[in-house]
Amino acid sequence: MIESLRTPDERFRGLPGYGFAPNYLDELPGYAGLRLHYLDEGRQDGPVFLCLHGQPSWSYLYRKMIPVLAEAGRVIAPDLFGFGRSDKPVDDAVYTFDFHRNALLGLVEALDLTEITLVCQDWGGLLGLTLPLAAPRRYARLLIMNTGFAAGDRPLGPGFEAWKLFNRAQPDLDIAALMRRATPILSEAEAQAYAAPFPDQRYKAGVRRFPELVPDRLDAPGAELSRQARDWWETAWDGPSFMAIGGADPVITPEAMAAVRRHIRGCPEPMIVPEAGHFVQEWGEPIARAALAHFAACR
């Protein structure tokens, strides 16, 4: 059994724009005693939109996209362990690339998701872009935003190294303050909503660990698998793709996303939102509508 904390439900009451019902998986294989939270919105008989968040966010990040995507199908938005309404292991060492990837694979299997549009950003992409290797026939479309392949074969860049140093120095990271700086359009209530899952420092092991997990060398955990995934997206992927880029992201820049695009077979010119930063989903409604229109045109 992994020692974990569970954020009290009252922390999630009345969050602006987040009136979604919680759903839980209690017994994922290999995760005994841990409860995984996910949102399940829209039509049960439609195509699936699997929306994957990163650090230090959670499914709240997708609140502006979910209603649009739910018009077209079924939206599944999980909270990774350590984030959102999911349980939070207290030992920093629990958080590994495989720990999170295998949990996502377990979610896909447990819900038997097919006809998936992979919707990913930040760690949602570092992990999510590897998922089709396990079951490629489950995946039909890609909506990718400000992320990349965790291949470990190129420098992470000065922006990311600075972020690692900052995060390392902040074991009790002020998440609301970070989100306000990164996304100035947030109201104070929205910024505080991002911090709702984390009552105190004990709940932030995942927040602390994720920047340290990004592969920075060829033999880092997850790097070889990510290189295999990059090759797969470049040579085997045959579904429609849509890329949206936050043009003001200081870490994953438009230039970095252009490099990612070259590895996604058939990916068209991206939609760039010049004023959007790293958390581009905060401009998510027009992105979701543009992606749906693109997918419809590809039928």
Give the residue numbers annotated as catalytic, written as ranges.
122, 249, 278
Q: Is 92 exposed, middle or buried (0-12, 13-18, 19+ CB in 10 A)?
A: middle
* Partners of residue 246 on adjacent β-strands: 273
Phi, psi of 119 (to 5 degrees): -110, 115
Give the containing element (helix H, strand E) for 42: strand 36-42
Whether the Cβ atoms of residue 198 and residue 176 lie closer than 8 Å to each other: no
Closest to 151 measured CA to CA, from 82, 232, 80: 232
* Partners of residue 24 on adjacent β-strands: 37
Whether the CA torsion 190, 192, 198, 199 is positive or negative: it is negative
Q: Is 30 helix (H, G, I), strand (E, B) or coil?
A: coil
- Compute the chain's Rg from CA coordinates: 18
DSSP letter, residue 72? T
Q: Please name the amino acid found at residue 49.
A: F
CA distances from 197 to 45, 79, 184 (A): 31, 10, 21
CA distances from 32 to 4, 24, 128 (A): 11, 14, 23
